[in-house]
Chains A and B, each alone.
Chain A
Amino acid sequence: MERQNILNFMTNNRELILVHANMHKMTLKKPINVMLTPQFYTVKKEALPIQYAYQAKKIAPSLFDGLLEDDSVHEYMVFKEKGEDEDYWVFIAYASEKIVSFLEEKGIESRYVHKIYFAQQAVHDFEQAPLALGENEVLLVKDGTVVVAPRVVLGTETNLQEFKQTFTPKTSGISIKNSSSNASSFITQTQALSLAAIFMLFAGIFIIEGLRYKSDSNSNTEEMNTLYEAHPGLQASYQREAILNKYSTIDQLERKKRDSINTASKMIFKGVTLTQIYVDKQKFYAQFSCSTVTISKRVKTLLEKRDKNHFFTIKGEKNLTLEGAL
């Protein structure tokens, strides 16, 4: 239902042109909807005990049997119309080829025709007043059917109405088939090109991103190759790991030694004398001589603050010994 409303909305946005036998030739630049006068179709109204339109459509050819010209292929449209007492099924028979041919004769290329409606679909609009079709004919409603009549049947004082865009029926129209145009497409060329432009924009973005990822991978590979050229010994992973292990161990150990010496040097202030520092491959050892117990305590507090990993052990009262395994 919602989809139908959207389609109606899209359809209603297009200009509606009334097509009749005496119309002038015209030039079109944008898609339109067309409303045909009874000159292009045959209508029959029947009150039948049928529930669905597709069932009515099945029996349509038999209803027009003998009424239509044999030289054309006819198609049928069926819809329900509300009558005063009961509902009627309205059967419309039309020849697409003839309609298309007439439209093209009048400059209405079928590629510009989006939907075709029949005047009978807007019967309630035509009931308001007759509508002039050129100088000699009028479109009027007779017994609930839209018909073309000579203008002389109307009195001279009869008010005529203008054709309005609001005549666009709410029920669906037909599309031209077997035509060289693209009007039968679900979407117009403009819409197709707009969508294509959006898709191509996304395609462009994806390709640019793809190229960026590709160049990132390439730059990593290039960097690796440059590195391996300068250091051929690092090409094999076991060689890399061996070098890394060797120098990581040295790095860690030497940093620890230097950190220990730095920590010990920070303990030296007024009242504290360094008496010994000893560092070898396995241990660190430092001795301080403090002038008072208070200073000694201060050294201990300072060490606790600095030694967050509890690497050192400190012993003694005034003569402090600082030890740590490397």
Chain B
Amino acid sequence: MSLKKYQNELIILLSLLIMMGAYFYKSHHITQQREGGSQANQALLEAKKAINLKRIWADKSLKKKVDILQNIVAPSKVTWNKSKKKLYAKYTGLGPNELNKLITKILNIPVSITLLDVKKVGSNYNVEFKCKW
């Protein structure tokens, strides 16, 4: 009987409690996301960055890509020595255009350049190139 008397107040109280519950639910997930999320986000960013860098600098198809450097100029001008993950190439008598083409290609292949020595001899260029991947 007395509950019925206060039914309006009870309706408001109940809905207010539901609203507060919903607010705390939201706050809980915000806090959880902030606390756990920042660590998880950092780990995720690190992992993504590591994967991307590894994909670039430890690309498994590099071995094939490097072979382009052998055929970019006439075979007579190239001394080619490729071992498992290293390359030693010597180019002689390259014209400016050939040199330009070769350098552009070298710069676009993601290998670790250990030596690049370009010397002008007369009107041509000699190139010594060492890299690893």
Could you list which residues of chain A lie within 8 angstroms of chain B, going by C-beta atoms?
Answer: 180, 182, 184-189, 191-193, 195-197, 199-200, 202-207, 209-211, 213-214, 216-217, 220-221, 223-224, 227-228, 231, 234, 237, 240-241, 243-244, 247-248, 250-251, 253-254, 257-258, 261-262, 265, 273-281
Q: From residue 4 to 19 of chain B, which have CB atoms closer than 8 A to chain A?
A: 4-9, 11-12, 14-16, 18-19
- Looking at the assembled complex, report how far the CB atom of A145 sits from the nearest CB atom of chain B, in whole angstroms: 35
Given contacts A199-B12, A207-B26, A213-B26, contact A234 B51 (CB under 8 A): yes
Could you list which residues of chain B lie within 8 angstroms of chain A, going by C-beta atoms?
Answer: 1, 4-9, 11-12, 14-16, 18-19, 21-23, 25-26, 28-30, 32-33, 36-37, 40-41, 43-44, 46-51, 53-54, 56-58, 103, 107, 110, 112-120
Contact between B51 and A203 (Cβ–Cβ < 8 Å)?
no
Contact between A274 and B26 (Cβ–Cβ < 8 Å)?
no
- Looking at the assembled complex, report how far the CB atom of A41 sits from the nearest CB atom of chain B, in whole angstroms: 24
Contact between B57 and A251 (Cβ–Cβ < 8 Å)?
yes
- State in angstroms the CA–CA spacing of A240 and B43 once bound together: 8
Contact between A237 and B15 (Cβ–Cβ < 8 Å)?
no
- Looking at the assembled complex, report how far the CB atom of B65 sits from the nearest CB atom of chain A, in whole angstroms: 15
Contact between A258 and B120 (Cβ–Cβ < 8 Å)?
no
Contact between A247 and B15 (Cβ–Cβ < 8 Å)?
no
Interface residues of B: mostly helix, strand, loop or mixed?
A: helix
Contact between A220 and B47 (Cβ–Cβ < 8 Å)?
no
- State in angstroms the CA–CA spacing of A276 and B118 once bound together: 5
- Looking at the assembled complex, report how far the CB atom of A71 sits from the nearest CB atom of chain B, in whole angstroms: 24
- State in angstroms the CA–CA spacing of A207 and B29 once bound together: 10
Residues from chain A with Cβ under 8 Å of B37 in the complex: 216-217, 220
Select one of A196, A240, A241 contacting B11, CB under 8 A: A196
Select one of A180, A214, A278 contacting B1, CB under 8 A: A180
Contact between A234 and B50 (Cβ–Cβ < 8 Å)?
yes
Q: A220-B44, A234-B51, A253-B112 are in contact. List 14 more A-B contacts (CB 8 A).
A: A188-B8, A202-B22, A206-B22, A213-B30, A224-B40, A227-B47, A234-B47, A244-B49, A251-B57, A254-B110, A254-B112, A261-B103, A278-B116, A278-B117
Residues from chain A with Cβ under 8 Å of B51 in the complex: 227, 231, 234
Contact between B53 and A227 (Cβ–Cβ < 8 Å)?
no
Among A203, A217, A234, A258, find the residue whose CB has the most chain B CB atoms closer than 10 A: A203
Select one of B8, B19, B49, B110 contacting A187, CB under 8 A: B8
Contact between A192 and B29 (Cβ–Cβ < 8 Å)?
no
CB pairs A–B below 8 angstroms (24 shown): A180-B1, A180-B4, A182-B4, A182-B7, A182-B8, A185-B6, A189-B7, A191-B8, A196-B14, A199-B15, A200-B18, A203-B22, A206-B22, A207-B22, A210-B28, A213-B26, A223-B44, A237-B46, A240-B43, A243-B54, A257-B116, A261-B116, A277-B116, A279-B117
Select one of A180, A220, A254, A279 contacting B40, CB under 8 A: A220
Select one of A199, A202, A210, A274 contacting B118, CB under 8 A: A274
Select one of A182, A199, A207, A280 contacting B25, CB under 8 A: A207
- Looking at the assembled complex, report how far the CB atom of A124 sits from the nearest CB atom of chain B, in whole angstroms: 35
Contact between B107 and A262 (Cβ–Cβ < 8 Å)?
yes
Residues from chain A with Cβ under 8 Å of B110 in the complex: 254
Contact between A210 and B112 (Cβ–Cβ < 8 Å)?
no
